[in-house]
Amino acid sequence: MQTAMVLAPEISVVVPVFDEAGAAPDLAREIATAFAGRSFEILFVDDASRDGTREALNALRAEIPQLRVLAHRRNSGQSRAIRSGILAARGPVIVTLDGDGQNDPADGPALVDALAAGGADLAMVGGERIKRQDSQAKKLASRFGNGIRRRLLRDTARDTGCGLKAFRREAFLQLPYFDHIHRYLPALMLREGYDVTFQPVHHRHRQTGRSKYTNLGRLMASLSDLLGVIWLQSRSRNPGGVDEL
């Protein structure tokens, strides 16, 4: 038991990937470099890719001993892949980032440090992308969606679409799961009585592959998700803490 506790990492970096054979290997190396000197593991969750993503990652396991590769048997979406990684993670602190390489892994340690410095009530530090390297149409759609969501949910988040986040595994496991939950983590953390904060992170051009989302597809999913989260907030009764007497 003592050996297992010593070997357990402090940080688990979870990366969902789908058809990212071109980006995933270099991203794994970047993550290993960014977290060098810390106690960490890297979990790539392959969401039933149709290309060589799984094989490319498996080939890196000798080079990166902290790397673990999980594989969905059926494609289930980004949120499910993130959840699969978190359930399998051994670290109490989770860092997530997108598998397309647009998030800069070098920003991850700063989010972890901010989380550690924030005290027990701080459950999540979210990234907010600066100088976004997306099309103008995507940036406008994101700005509109974030504005509506922030006004209705009062979650204080200006960029919930940023995949780079650091949060406490224990806090995430208390949240109700649904598809696309990764876009509503700030609101759901606040619902449970935790604090959340944000800090700027870099954003990069996509070098390989293509986006798995369209503006119309994201809009249609967001409408039902938003109504669901509003309902969850309305049904929440927070005791403000629990004391054992």
**pLDDT digits 0-9 by tens, 78-118:** 999 999 999 999 999 999 999 999 999 999 999 999 999 99
Q: pLDDT (tens digit, 9 = 90+) per residue, 34-54?
A: 999 999 999 999 999 999 999
DSSP state of 35: T
Beta bridge partners of 196: 124
- Identify the bridge partners of residue 168 per DSSP, sorted by sequence position: 93
Asked whether the predicted pLDDT for residue 165 surpasses 60, the reply is: yes
Of 1-5, 90-94, 176-180, 205-209, least confident by mean pLDDT is 1-5
Are 163 and 103 spatial neighbours (Cβ–Cβ below 8 Å)? yes
- Supply the pLDDT for residue 3: 45
What's the one-letter identity of residue 166? Answer: A
Mean pLDDT across 191-208 = 91
Backbone angles phi, psi at 98, to 5 degrees: -70, 155
Q: What SS3 state is found at 21?
A: coil
For the chain, what percent of residues have pLDDT higher than 90?
Answer: 68
Q: CA 108, CA 95: separation in Å to the nearest integer?
A: 7
* Closest by Cα among 38, 68, 67, 71 to 53: 71
Name the least confident of 118-132, 173-187, 227-241: 227-241
Q: Which fold has domain 2-234?
A: Spore Coat Polysaccharide Biosynthesis Protein SpsA; Chain A (3.90.550)
What is the structure's pLDDT at 149? 76
The least confident of 46-55, 171-180, 198-207, 233-242 is: 233-242
What's the token pair of residue 218? 């994201």
Say what angle helices 108-117 and 24-34 make with each other, to 10 degrees. Answer: 40
Alpha-carbon torsion angle 145, 23, 28, 100, nearest 10: 0
Rounded distance, CA 133 to CA 119, Å? 33
Q: Please name the helix (run of DSSP H) or strand (run of DSSP E) that holds residue 15, with its range, or none.
A: strand 11-17
Burial class (CB in 10 A: 0-12, 13-18, 19+), 26: middle
pTM of the entire predicted model: 0.87
Least confident span in 137-141, 154-158, 229-233? 137-141
For residue 70, give the H/E element and its range.
Answer: strand 67-71
pLDDT reported for residue 42: 98
Give domain limits for the chain: 2-234
Report the alpha-carbon distance of residue 51 to residue 40 in Å, rounded.
Answer: 28
Q: Name the percent of the chain lying above pLDDT 70.
A: 86
What stretch of H or E contains 229? helix 215-234
In three-state secondary structure terms, 129 is: strand
Distances (CA, A) of 214 to 210, 219, 222: 11, 9, 12
SS3 177: coil
Predicted pLDDT of residue 2: 45
pLDDT at site 134: 59
